[in-house]
């Protein structure tokens, strides 16, 4: 997404990056894990913290949580909770060093409402393990070694499976 961790600009092969929500609505966003009540759960373009995911609001004109009517606002927060739980369950099952999940609604770069779901691990560098993920070196956001790739398919499938279960329970 823009200058953040979700991508670094479009190429002809990933035009969906210029309109992530529109592409999700059209079924063309390849990062979508599942459609939820108020948006789309997507796996992040970067995976230097494996399992990083984002909840995108389903209307690109919505810039902040307070733009939503109360019922839809609560749906968005419930969807964020479901995605957070799914990431936690999947990451805990796949990596014994999983520690916790951080949930963030920031809105400083991209102009549409979205929530970041960051899994955190004990193997993180000691100077960063208890600090905000945004303090990681800038290179982590753009290094192709951290890009979402087929090697993340098992993680992606596990998050999707947990999300299907947690979203139904809510």
CA dist 96 and 122 (Å) reads 9
Q: Is residue 41 a part of any domain in this protein?
A: yes
What's the pLDDT at 108? 74
Q: How many domains does the chain have?
A: 1
Instruction: pLDDT band for 107, please (50, 70, 90 cuts).
Output: confident
| Residue in 113, 88, 118 with CA at minimum distance from that of residue 102 | 118
pLDDT at 13: 52
The predicted pLDDT at position 10 comes to 41
Q: Write the pLDDT tens digit of every residue in 45-89.
A: 999 999 999 999 999 999 999 999 999 999 999 999 999 999 999
Domain housing 84:
12-169
Q: Is residue 2 part of a domain?
A: no
User: What strands, in cross-sheet order, belong to the sheet with 53-57?
Assistant: 32-35, 39-43, 53-57, 114-121, 98-104
Task: Note the pLDDT of residue 132.
Answer: 94
Contacts of 85 (CB under 8 A, 6+ apart): 162, 166
Return the CATH number at 61. Answer: 3.30.428.10
- Say if 152 falls within a structural domain: yes
């Amino acid at each position: 997404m823009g200058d953040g961790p979700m991508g670094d600009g479009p190429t002809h092969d990933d035009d969906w990056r210029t309109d992530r929500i529109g592409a999700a609505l059209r079924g063309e966003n390849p990062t979508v894990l599942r459609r939820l009540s108020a948006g789309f759960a997507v796996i992040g373009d970067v995976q230097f913290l494996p399992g990083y995911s984002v909840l995108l609001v389903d209307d690109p004109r919505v810039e902040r949580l307070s733009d939503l009517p109360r019922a839809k606002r609560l749906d968005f927060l419930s969807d964020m909770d479901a995605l957070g739980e799914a990431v936690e369950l999947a990451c805990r099952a796949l990596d014994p060093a999983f520690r916790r999940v951080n949930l963030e609604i920031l809105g400083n770069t991209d102009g549409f409402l979205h929530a970041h779901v960051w899994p955190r691990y004990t193997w993180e560098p000691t100077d960063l393990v208890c600090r905000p993920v945004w303090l990681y070196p800038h290179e982590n956001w753009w290094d192709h070694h951290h890009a979402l790739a087929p090697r993340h398919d098992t993680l992606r499938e596990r998050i999707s499976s947990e999300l299907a279960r947690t979203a139904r329970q809510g």
